[in-house]
Amino acid sequence: MSEATITHSTDYASWKVSIRNGLKTFHHPPEHIPDLNYQEPDDGLTEKILSALSRVDGLPPHNVLLKGPRGSGKTIVWYRTAQILGVPLYYLGGSYGTSRGDLLGEVCPQQDGSFGFATSALFEAMENGALFVFDDMDKIPESSLTPLLSVLNENRVLHSSYVGSPCANENFMFCATANREISNAEIRDRLSPVINVSYPSKATTEKILRSRLTKADEKWFKLFMHECKSDKLSPRYAIQVLTFAYKMHTIAYQKGTAKNTESDILKYIRIAKGSDKKDQEEQNSTIQKKTYGKTTKDTDGLEIFSLLSGQEQDKSKH
Ligand SMILES: Nc1ncnc2c1ncn2[C@@H]1O[C@H](COP(=O)(O)OP(=O)(O)OP(=O)(O)O)[C@@H](O)[C@H]1O
Ligand SMILES: [Mg+2]
């Protein structure tokens, strides 16, 4: 692969550097796969994905597209998939600024005036036979997508003037996510199956919440799910609202301004949801006063700061 490979590490990242075609080459690192707490949705999403990526009877993996609303769990399921398959995951998040260089790799100037080459996540996944995830693929300009056409063909080639035209390792897997239809028809035709992801059931959402808020007691989940029973609930929204309510209530409880009662818990859930305007106004003014406590010559600001930074966790009521 290279004349010499060394690993270059900083506090934030670690990537391999090699000499390739005479160019100092920086290899895009795989993603770190965090502790996921993944809760399997009832429709067997992971199983569908694993079937599409499998090599049953020597058949090649499909190029899978997950399509679904924001916050429904499209990105996290790819991390889970890589974890189950035990393969590295290379990730590219699409945005309006994503360019062909993000797919092909880019020449980069060095401090000594020479040029180096930074490989792309796609290139590394193809070379190492890993899982490549193109997240939010619908957000990128159509013209930036053209290098993908040959990658998504059966021969799986990436045409790059710097690294030649490498063919993918046979274990390479291509996956993508989108909120909307992919507008480029040629790319769209090469992505199959399209697996629709919807918001998980309320039961799965509750499991997700329980796995996030391990110190909260039963009342929190019962009240939250009841309060949201008629809402369409994305896991992201549910996590954000419930954890915000829980933090506000915990801080208020430790200040002695809230009780661990159903009505007080419900009050904070409603504030976090924005469904209780009056409470929201009161809460905002209290938080403002407390946050800027030092300037209003009381010590509440300092106390709130220690709560916010987690120093008071042992006083937990739950
Ligand atoms: N099945 C699940 N198990 C555990 N957590 C989940 C699950 N589904 C979603 N989540 C959590 O919900 C949040 C949103 O999930 P994710 O980022 O995967 O959504 P998304 O569909 O990719 O959203 P977007 O379209 O905005 O990118 C994340 O915090 C994720 O960890
Ligand atoms: Mg996502």
pLDDT of residue 166: 80
Determine the Cα–Cα distance for residues 267 and 279; give it in Å rounded to an integer: 7
Percent of the chain scored above 70 by pLDDT?
82
pTM reported for the whole predicted model: 0.84
CA–centroid distance, 41 to ligand 2, in Å, is 16
Q: Which residues contact 82 (CB under 8 A, 6 or more apart)?
A: 31, 33, 88, 89, 131
Assign 137 to helix, strand or coil: helix
* Host H or E run for residue 29: none
Q: What is the mean pLDDT of residues 259-278?
A: 90
Question: Cα(301)–Cα(289) distance, rounded to whole angstroms?
Answer: 8
Q: Does residue 228 contact residue 53 with C-beta atoms inside 8 Å?
A: no
**What is the chain's length?**
318
Q: How far apart are CA 2 and CA 85, in angstroms?
A: 27
- State if residue 75 touches ligand 1 by the CB under 6 angstroms criterion: yes
The token pair that represents 279 in the structure block? 């409470």
The pLDDT value given to residue 11: 59
Q: Are 76 and 36 in contact (CB under 8 A)?
A: yes
Atom of ligand 1 nearest to the CA of 77: 18
Give SS3 for 194. Answer: strand
Check if 71 has its Cβ closer than 6 Å to any atom of ligand 1.
Answer: yes
> 84 Cβ partners below 8 Å, 6+ apart?
46, 50
Q: In what order do the strands lie in the sheet with 5-9?
A: 5-9, 14-20, 23-27, 115-118, 106-109
Q: What is the pLDDT of residues 100-121, one digit of tens each?
A: 999 999 998 888 888 899 999 9
pLDDT of residue 275: 74
Contact yes or no for 273/237 (Cβ under 8 A): no
Residue intervals of the chain classified under CATH 3.40.50.300 are 5-196
Containing H/E element for 149? helix 148-152
Q: Tokens representing 178?
A: 């989108």
User: What distance in angstroms lies between residue 17's CA and the mean position of ligand 2's atoms?
Assistant: 30
Residues 6 or more apart in contact with residue 164 via CB below 8 angstroms: 21
Q: Which ligand is nearest to the CA of 68?
A: 1
- State which fold the 5-196 domain adopts: Rossmann fold (3.40.50)
| pLDDT mean across residues, the chain | 86
Q: Tens of pLDDT along 133-175? A: 999 999 999 889 999 999 999 999 999 877 777 889 999 999 9
Which atom belonging to ligand 1 lies closest to the Cα atom of 197?
Answer: 21
Q: How far apart are CA 132 and CA 33, in angstroms?
A: 13
